[in-house]
A = this chain, B = another copy of it.
Amino acid sequence: MHVLILGAAGMIGRKLTERLVADTSLVADTSLVADTSLVADTSLGRRAIERMTLIDIVAPPVPAGAPFPVVAEACDFAAPGTAERMIAGRPDVIFHLAAIVSGEAEADFDKGLRINLDGTRHLLDAIRSEMAGHPPRVVLTSSIAVFGAPFPDAIPDSFQHTPLTSYGTQKAICELLLADYSRRGFLDGIGIRLPTICVRPGKPNKAASGFFSGIIREPLNGEDAVLPVDEDVRHWHASPRSAIGFLIHAATIDTGSLANRRNLTMPGLSVTVAEQIASLRRVAGDRVAARIRREPDAVIARIVEGWPRNFDAARAGKLGFNLVERDFDDIIRFHIEDELAGRVS
């Protein structure tokens, strides 16, 4: 089996690559799936990976010791001809994680259209023309940004798509294309709307959502972190471990169970900043939690106010998408295990 990952150099792409290289096949964690018939019969979950192709705008890292060939290439997947060339490798499973983020798509409208919308369209069209009769599984990472305020208390999958950003608009369009190309049999797609991933490893970035991870990550590293919003701000989180689990389950699920509704919101934890901080205190102690500095920022507060806070992800749960973490304490513990070798500064 040939696995193609677009956007393989990003945080999720790197973790997914490492997991697939270690597992050597698409092994869903069936302990999380109540109804194992959802995964048991997919041949995709029983075939060994024979090769992988990793694509991103910067060269994706190739994990050491892969038992199969891994080709990594730096290229613009949205450039003319690139999609056809990638699809000529006849991938069985495509993880499409490539996108420019919300802030950039808002600042540069043309770039957002070119990468997030047209790039995806070219990919789907290349699959349609080059792989007729052999529809590959296509896992698209979509976003909760397909929804726009005002919201109900918990947003169900049945809620309208009225995004308030160009990024959300472009993702909503990709969802629609993915569903229609799947309905017509050109490919076998599934779109998963990931929660905000927390704790995001690495350096602080300038994303408005950065503080949700920063207030955990920096204190655990012995550094101060800035909290720009009130502690009663509520948001929707999942760990990197859960995100990778969602991707692999999406790659192996029997898509017949989706019944033409190919896009769905992934489970998450709806927690307030105060609850995040309480978890940090429980897991790492008062000394660590004291490294959070309150510096209210009206601009960030206003942006965050328009974001969704809570979802009803029951549909994904029934389809076997489940969180690895039980609560936010777990999210912090996973970060300490996976990124800090178990040690807190």
B-binding residues in A (CB < 8 A): 109, 148, 157-164, 166, 169, 172-173, 176-177, 179-180, 183-184, 260-261
> With the chains together, A162 CA to B260 CA distance in Å?
8
> With the chains together, A219 CA to B144 CA distance in Å?
52
Residues of B within 8 A of A173 (CB): 173, 176-177
* Chain B residue nearest to A158 in the complex (CB): B160
Pick from A159, A173, A177 the residue with the most CB of B within 10 Å: A173
> With the chains together, A189 CA to B160 CA distance in Å?
18
Residues of B within 8 A of A184 (CB): 109, 166
Known: A109-B184, A148-B260. A176 touches B163 (CB 8 A): yes
Known: A148-B260, A158-B159. A164 touches B183 (CB 8 A): yes
Residues of B within 8 A of A162 (CB): 179, 260-261
Can you list 13 A-B contacts (CB < 8 A)? A148-B261, A158-B159, A159-B159, A160-B160, A161-B161, A164-B260, A166-B180, A169-B176, A169-B179, A172-B176, A173-B176, A173-B177, A176-B176
- In contact, B177 and A169 (Cβ under 8 angstroms): yes
* Chain B residue nearest to A183 in the complex (CB): B164
> With the chains together, A180 CA to B161 CA distance in Å?
12
> With the chains together, A184 CA to B176 CA distance in Å?
22
Least Cβ distance of A6 to chain B in Å? 21
> With the chains together, A176 CA to B328 CA distance in Å?
35
Least Cβ distance of A210 to chain B in Å? 24
* Chain B residue nearest to A147 in the complex (CB): B160
Known: A173-B177, A179-B169, A184-B166. A159 touches B161 (CB 8 A): no
Residues of B within 8 A of A179 (CB): 162-163, 169
Least Cβ distance of A92 to chain B in Å? 24
Known: A109-B184, A166-B184. A161 touches B148 (CB 8 A): no
Least Cβ distance of A111 to chain B in Å? 14
- In contact, B159 and A160 (Cβ under 8 angstroms): yes
Least Cβ distance of A110 to chain B in Å? 10
* Chain B residue nearest to A106 in the complex (CB): B184
Residues of B within 8 A of A177 (CB): 169, 173
- In contact, A161 and B176 (Cβ under 8 angstroms): yes
* Chain B residue nearest to A118 in the complex (CB): B121
Residues of B within 8 A of A169 (CB): 176-177, 179-180
> With the chains together, A282 CA to B344 CA distance in Å?
82
> With the chains together, A159 CA to B109 CA distance in Å?
28
Least Cβ distance of A134 to chain B in Å? 18
> With the chains together, A183 CA to B163 CA distance in Å?
10
> With the chains together, A179 CA to B179 CA distance in Å?
21
Least Cβ distance of A108 to chain B in Å? 12
> With the chains together, A32 CA to B179 CA distance in Å?
39
> With the chains together, A161 CA to B47 CA distance in Å?
35
> With the chains together, A120 CA to B161 CA distance in Å?
19
